[in-house]
Amino acid sequence: MKRALSPAETPQVGRSLPRLESWLKVTGRAEYVHNLRLPGMLYGRIFRSSVAHGRIRRLDVSAAQAVGGVHRVVSAADLKGIVPDPYYGPAFHDQPVLAVDKVRYVGEPVAVVLAADPHVAEEAAHLIVAEYEELPAVYDELEAMTSKAIVHDALKPAGTFPDLKHLKGRTGTNVALDFHLRRGDAAQALAAADRVFEHRFRTQQVMHTPLEPLVSVAESTDSSLTIHTASQSPSFVRIEVARLLGWPENRIRVRVPFLGGGFGAKLYIKLEALVAVLSLLTRRAVKISLTMEEQFFTITKHASSFRIKSGVTRDGRICARECEVWWNGGAYADIGPRVTQKSGFTAAGPYDIEHVAIDSYALYTNLPPAGALRGFGIPQLVWAYECHTDMMARELGIDPIEFRRRNLLRDGRPQATGTLMRDAAIEKVLDRLAVLLEWNRPFDRGTGVVRRGRGIAIGFKACVSPTTSLAAVNVNGDGSCIVYCSTVDMGQGSDTAMAQIAGEVLHLPAETVRVVHSDTDVTPYDMATLGSRSLFHMGNAVKLAAEDALKKLNQLKSELQMPPDAAIPEIFKKKYGMQAGNVVGTGSFIPSYAPPDYATGLTSDATPFWMVGGSGVEIEVDTETGRVRVARLVNVADVGTPINPKIVETQLSGAAIMQLGFTLFEKMLFDEHGQLRNASLAEYKIPGFLDMPEEIINEAVSAEQRSGPFGAKGVGETGTFGVSPAIANAIHDAVGVRLTVLPLNPESIFMELQKAK
């Protein structure tokens, strides 16, 4: 591959440059932790709980220990010398490295078998015997509000992140966090409204299923630890493992190569604390690679319940809204409290409503933990409020797009928190959806068995705040450039985007810029690669760092009395007498933020930017079977000004197709004992080629995020927002039945059709 060092003649931002690592990926050479083998490495195989809630009465590992080739079997009792308080988590320190005394869900790690041969470890793990005294369990988020089964006896807020400092939980309940927002007087406004509508919606528990299952490797010496991990948050891993061990951060190194998908599954701490302590315990390198099945017992997306109630005036204006949202967080909080709060405050939707009351609850249950999954709770909310919007529009006899247009939250108006909307092209997104769907032209509704319908939905999201990104840009003696940042490229194309940003500032072709992958010994702090924050936050940091480098180069030029158009290598040559030296620019970015008032949830500065996404669909329903075929899927988004339009398009379309799976069939199915019945890709189906809509159109509206790097903002999640309600709205349009529970599988549609007969 030719990589010229000549200055770029054209702008780097706005280029549809193929991903920088394309060659590595099409030749199978991309580095994943999956590939890593270290000398003397042991493989760990996890033995997991078979009960949903219980005290561990007896754990017998003797048979496993006796298997030839087993190095050691480790349970919580063995960890005490290394980690006195073995609990971790980003919001609460509630999750044990291995179960201590109690288990809280089926599939919770209880012990680990270590062996040089992974088959031996697996075989031996089957021989471990555990006896439990079973405790009452709770699985449903609504029941968890009042259940006598309490998942955690004590709650230990982590206090790590500034936006979660207020966390305390409610001891003696399953409530990890309750968030409340009060704007105006919703109760009174509802009483005075001309029409009032109230609906309830639910979403199911699903899983990220990155095709590279979670995997971590640790190697250690007496005083240092290196963790190679498929993680979206290397900086957090280092901080959290350092805290657990009582070590300074500089003794721990966290390296992250490419990720085979993340989607939120590989955030905060997953296997890292476990491999770290196992390596310290055995003085060997230790690798744990989860199977696809085990991923289902590790991290999932919140199931949720939503009650929404709106008051509407005679002329179709929404004047008041009450929202109650219950998030099923599973047995450990993970980042659920942030989902509850950050998504909670947008629960009233992208509408200009004077009186809003929101109550949002993060609940513990005895299910596998739930975290963030491509949307941080937003798809669950949009599902509810956009079905609700359509239901009201139809009742009122107003066209669904017209009804939305009458109520849209426009730039300059306060969102429910009181934060003013800025650079949020909500109306443009709605307008483009209407155009691309040819909303005003006659629509063929089908005849006989197959009926056709169409629907739309729009949603918005506030990017999580406040979070920090740091970057360094190094210009070498020959003028070539290296970007150091801890953003993890898990497929979203961040390496390429960062190279384009640095290249734009330094007038270098982006393909000549190298981006060093996360290595906490080398790359500076970054909060995490999550919530579509990286392009904005890290993009700004990289831009600042590149500008800093440029400034230093220009300073050198003037110190050396060189002409302004002097080439970079000439500067270094003059300064050092040969090709030598380098210039390092640094950049640090944290947006402004005002925390919400605890009682009212109001704040003047809730987020650094708003993401806006909408989808429209045309579908066919087979009325004899309830099967739905999506013929056309249109996704429109405000992503600011795209840095790389082609990658933006694949992000929008990929996110929408992923959400299509969550909409139509993906669902984790539990029995009455909290046992997961479909923990494999044979029984938990994700969208494949034959599930694709015949036609997919993606469009980023012309827009600018003025505070973003070159007008850009995040896009990774935006395509998910509108898909589910658009399809439910289209089903209603086609056959007149309304589904309020995801997924919209053929059987539930058929059963509704039967009821309607």
Partner 1 sequence: MRRSIQFRLNGEAVSAQVAPHETLVEVLQDAFGLFGARESCGQGLCGCCTVVVNGRAVSGCLYLASFAEGGEVSTIEAGSRLDAVQEAFIECGSLQCGFCTPGFILMTRQLLEEHPEPDDDTIRHYLSGNLCRCAAYPQIIEAVKLAARKMRQT
Partner 2 sequence: MPFELAEPRSLREAIASLDAKDPSVRPISGGTALMLMMKAGVLRPSRLVSLGKLGLAGIRTGPGGELRVGAMTSLRTIEKSEIVRKGWPVIARTLRTLANVRVRNVATVGGHLAHADPHMDLPPVLSALGARVTIAGAAGERSIPVEELGTGYLETSIRLDELITLLEVPPLGGRSAAYLKCTTRSADDWPAVGVAVSLDFQGDSIREASVVIGAATDKPTRLAAVERILVGRKLDENLLDEAATQELSVEGDLHGSAAYKKQLIRVYLRRAIHEARAQSR
Closest CA to 499 of 489, 490, 510, 509: 510
Distance (Å, rounded) from C-alpha 20 to C-alpha 672?
49
Distance (Å, rounded) from C-alpha 355 to C-alpha 191?
12
Residue 100, interface with partner 1 (CB under 8 A)? no
Site pattern 401..440 for partner 1 (x: CB under 8 A)? ----------------------------------------
- Subset of 692-751 contacting partner 1 (CB under 8 A): 692, 696
Among 90, 96, 169, 210, binds partner 1 (CB under 8 A): 210
**Distances, alpha carbon 264 to alpha carbons 344, 463, 569, 708, in Å:** 18, 15, 42, 23
Which of partner 1, partner 2, none does 209 bind, CB closer than 5 to 8 A by kind? partner 1
- Subset of 243-262 contacting partner 1 (CB under 8 A): 258-262
Residue 686, interface with partner 2 (CB under 8 A)? yes
Closest CA to 497 of 647, 612, 641: 647
- Any idea what the Cα angle at residue 214 is, between residues 212 and 215, rounded to 5°? 100
Q: In which residue are the tokens 């308080």 written?
A: 85
Residue among 141, 240, 717, 752 flagged as catalytic: 717
Q: In which residue are the tokens 């249109």 written?
A: 634
Within 10 A of 244 (CB to CB), how many other CB atoms are there? 23
Within 10 A of 314 (CB to CB), how many other CB atoms are there? 9
CA atoms within 13 A on the CB side of 118: 10
Q: Which parts of 273-348 are beta strand (E)?
A: 286-289, 300-301, 303-312, 318-328
Contact 346, 461 (CB under 8 A): yes
- Candidate segments 92-100, 121-129, 298-306, 376-384, binder of partner 2 by CB under 8 A: 121-129
**Minimum gap (Å) between residue 431 Cβ and partner 1:** 24
Site pattern 125..164 for partner 2 (x: CB under 8 A)? -x--------------------------------------
Q: In which residue are the tokens 């996890």 written?
A: 46
Q: Which residues are CB-neighbours of 415 under 8 A, at least 6 positions away? A: 346, 409, 421, 462, 606
Which of partner 1, partner 2, none does 23 bind, CB closer than 5 to 8 A by kind? partner 1
Return the number of the residue (714 or 743) whose C-beta is nearest partner 2: 743
- Candidate segments 49-57, 116-124, 511-519, 649-657, binder of partner 2 by CB under 8 A: 116-124
Helix axes 746-756, 723-735, angle to 10 degrees: 30
Closest CA to 698 of 619, 643, 636, 656: 636
Among 653, 678, 707, 748, binds partner 1 (CB under 8 A): 653
Return the number of the residue (37 or 148) whose C-beta is nearest partner 1: 37
**Minimum gap (Å) between residue 645 Cβ and partner 1:** 10
SS3 content of the chain, % helix, strand, coil (to 5): 30, 25, 45
Site pattern 613..652 for partner 1 (x: CB under 8 A)? ---------------------------------xx-xx--
Contact 338, 177 (CB under 8 A): no
Which tokens is 495 given?
């390496």
Return the number of the residue (255 or 451) whose C-beta is nearest partner 2: 451
**Minimum gap (Å) between residue 123 Cβ and partner 2:** 5
DSSP category for residue 17: P
Which tokens is 192 given?
């005075």
Distance (Å, rounded) from C-alpha 33 to C-alpha 22?
18
Closest CA to 108 of 127, 123, 130: 130
Which of partner 2, partner 1, none does 658 bind, CB closer than 5 to 8 A by kind? partner 1
Among 31, 78, 123, 140, binds partner 2 (CB under 8 A): 123
Contact 668, 732 (CB under 8 A): no
Which of partner 1, partner 2, none does 627 bind, CB closer than 5 to 8 A by kind? partner 2
Residue 590, interface with partner 1 (CB under 8 A)? no
Residue 292, interface with partner 1 (CB under 8 A)? yes
Return the number of the residue (331 or 658) whose C-beta is nearest partner 1: 658
Among 26, 688, 755, 757, binds partner 2 (CB under 8 A): 688
Return the number of the residue (218 or 686) whose C-beta is nearest partner 2: 686
Helix axes 426-436, 400-407, angle to 10 degrees: 170
Residue 678, interface with partner 1 (CB under 8 A)? no
Which tokens is 299 given?
């991290």
- Subset of 656-675 contacting partner 1 (CB under 8 A): 657-658
- Candidate segments 271-279, 452-460, 473-481, 687-695, binder of partner 1 by CB under 8 A: 687-695
Distance (Å, rounded) from C-alpha 306 to C-alpha 381?
8
Among 26, 154, 578, 599, binds partner 1 (CB under 8 A): 26
Handedness of CA 438, 441, 447, 451 (dihedral sign): positive
Closest CA to 587 of 640, 531, 547: 547
- Candidate segments 47-55, 474-482, 550-558, 690-698, binder of partner 1 by CB under 8 A: 690-698
Distance (Å, rounded) from C-alpha 259 to C-alpha 210?
9
Residue 32, interface with partner 1 (CB under 8 A)? yes
Residues in the interface with partner 2 (CB under 8 A) total 28
Which of partner 2, partner 1, none does 310 bind, CB closer than 5 to 8 A by kind? none
Residue 188, interface with partner 1 (CB under 8 A)? no
**Minimum gap (Å) between residue 166 Cβ and partner 1:** 35
Residue 661, interface with partner 2 (CB under 8 A)? yes
Among 624, 671, 694, 695, binds partner 2 (CB under 8 A): 624
Cα-to-chain-centroid distance, residue 72: 36
- Catalytic residue flag (residue 570): no
- Residues engaged in binding partner 2 (CB under 8 A): 119-120, 122-123, 126, 624-625, 627, 661, 665-666, 669, 677-678, 682-683, 685-691, 745-747, 750-751
- The residues that are catalytic are 717
- Residues engaged in binding partner 1 (CB under 8 A): 16, 18-19, 21-30, 32, 34-35, 37, 119, 208-213, 258-263, 291-293, 490-493, 646-647, 649-650, 653-655, 657-658, 680-682, 686-690, 692, 696
